[in-house]
């Protein structure tokens, strides 16, 4: 079995129309001379990451694993990446070992109060993630949970709170140094949605017992493959397809489709990655996600026969860890004996092919990314694939992939209204 990903597209597309544009975008990334170039640290991070910090993370994660719960406090890129990896690689139902829960990504009093009730009688650690320390949702949740931790553990609470923040400055860094929390670094040259392969994402993933060495190996192989200035570079090819769909085919929505529920939070991470990177100056595809075949029984009708403004990117996992065989039953009450002794995963692959054909016939173009298996190595490589494609695609749109000016607008309004409460 090869470790290479495969990419194919359902339509004939003249890549020559965008080849020069894509190569120029890749040059911006590799030469660090495009918009937002100070945030390109993620490009070489899988190769040059801080080994000393990584060793400290591993050592502390072994201590955290002996507890019952790790509460990860963060919003956006500070939690979506780690949750995506954990959900993709951990069993669906088996709950043995450390329970990793997330907070600070919403303002629901109901959620936070239930979380406090859940952890108060358990042995727990906290990992708060914020570069500045002033991110509103995260700061509110940390204020509450810090108090719970101190009430339960007293002075020992200092050793129960782990902070991932700026290396030198910011409210959270200053406070952590003053009280003595263990800290890990949010690199200055890597923005939140590109930070999953740093301490931001990797420390919670380590605590979950997932092989982060393999994740970084996959990402490093991605670095070697997806920085090549060639149309054999499928990361570059995917960026070209997205731009052609948006500019030439007038497609407005891209669905990231998976046929495995374990990829649900990878889809959520992908949506933030592309939406925040490209959605500027009236440009960019609106990104959505779907799990098939479940969603074929809901908005599949709209995709098939509705407004022709969508295309799909399908993640197909070739070899899954577990499978089940359809049994033969004498009474054949459901008339499914023709499927007896067939694998459910093989049937699911038939569904992928059937759906793709139906949607292509219905003027919904499809891209397929074939991943050899769902493991730490391939998740690391897939993360790097999407990060590189996203940066190339955004530069092709002539927008800065690494800022998010629109995000601050709601915050300004909220702070003004809160002052009037």
Known catalytic residue: 276? yes
Provide the 8-state DSSP code for 328.
P
Chain position carrying tokens 């960026």: 239
Provide the 8-state DSSP code for 293.
T
Contact 215, 376 (CB under 8 A): yes
- 138: Cβ–Cβ under 8 A, 6 or more apart, which residues? 73, 74, 75, 78, 104, 105, 128, 129, 130
Known catalytic residue: 411? yes
Contact 378, 320 (CB under 8 A): no
Collapsing DSSP to helix, strand or coil, 311 comes out as strand
**Cα radius of gyration (the chain):** 23
Count of CB atoms situated within 10 Å of the CB of 130: 28
Q: Characterize the bridge pairing of strands 69-73 and 124-129.
A: parallel
Which CB contacts under 8 angstroms, 24+ apart, belong to 211-215? 211/376, 212/58, 212/376, 214/375, 214/376, 214/377, 214/380, 215/85, 215/376, 215/377, 215/379, 215/380, 215/383
Task: Record the tokens describing residue 109, joined without a space.
Answer: 């009093």
Report the run of H or E that residue 63 belongs to, with start and end: helix 51-65
Distance between CA atoms of residues 393 and 401, nearest Å? 9
CA nearest to 383, candidates 393, 371, 394? 371
Instruction: Find the catalytic residue in 268, 276, 312, 387.
Output: 276
- 347: Cβ–Cβ under 8 A, 6 or more apart, which residues? 326, 339
Report the run of H or E that residue 238 belongs to, with start and end: helix 234-247
Chain position carrying tokens 């359902």: 10
Q: Which residues are catalytic?
A: 276, 411
């Amino acid at each position: 079995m090869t470790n290479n990903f495969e990419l194919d597209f359902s339509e004939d597309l003249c890549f020559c129309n965008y080849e020069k544009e894509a190569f120029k975008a890749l040059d911006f990334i590799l030469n660090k001379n495009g918009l937002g170039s100070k945030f390109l640290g993620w490009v070489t991070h899988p190769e040059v990451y801080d080994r000393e910090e990584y060793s400290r993370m591993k050592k502390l994660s072994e201590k955290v694993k002996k507890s019952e719960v790790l509460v990860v406090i963060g919003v956006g890129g500070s939690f979506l990446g780690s949750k995506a990896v954990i959900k993709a690689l951990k069993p669906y139902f088996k709950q043995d070992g450390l329970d990793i829960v997330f907070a600070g990504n919403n303002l629901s009093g109901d959620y936070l109060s239930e979380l406090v009730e859940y952890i108060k009688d358990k042995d727990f650690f906290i990992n708060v993630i914020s570069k500045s320390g002033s991110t509103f949702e995260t700061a509110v949740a940390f204020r509450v949970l810090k108090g719970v931790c101190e009430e339960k553990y007293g002075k020992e609470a200092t050793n129960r709170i782990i902070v991932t923040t700026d290396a030198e400055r910011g409210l959270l860094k200053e406070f952590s140094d003053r009280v003595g929390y263990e800290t890990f670094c949010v690199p200055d040259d890597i923005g939140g949605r590109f930070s999953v392969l740093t301490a931001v994402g990797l420390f919670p993933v380590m605590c979950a017992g997932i092989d982060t060495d393999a994740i970084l190996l996959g990402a490093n192989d991605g670095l070697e493959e997806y920085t090549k200035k060639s149309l054999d570079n499928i990361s570059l090819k995917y960026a070209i397809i997205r731009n052609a769909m948006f500019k030439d085919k007038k497609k407005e929505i891209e669905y990231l489709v998976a046929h495995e529920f374990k990829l649900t939070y990878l889809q959520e991470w992908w949506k933030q990655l592309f939406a925040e990177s490209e959605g500027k100056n009236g440009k960019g595809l609106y990104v959505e996600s779907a799990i098939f075949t479940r969603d074929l029984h809901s908005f599949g009708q709209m995709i098939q026969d509705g407004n022709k403004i969508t295309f799909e990117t399908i993640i197909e996992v070739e070899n899954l860890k577990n499978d089940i065989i359809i049994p033969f039953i004498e009474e054949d009450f459901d008339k499914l004996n023709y499927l007896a002794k067939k694998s459910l995963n093989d049937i699911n692959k038939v569904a992928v092919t059937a759906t793709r054909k139906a949607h292509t016939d219905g003027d919904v173009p499809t891209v397929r990314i074939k991943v050899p298996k769902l493991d730490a190595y391939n998740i690391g490589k897939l993360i790097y694939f999407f990060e590189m494609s996203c940066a190339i695609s955004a530069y092709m749109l002539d927008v800065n992939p690494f800022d998010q000016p629109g995000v601050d607008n709601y915050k300004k309004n909220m702070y003004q209204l809160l002052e009037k409460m």
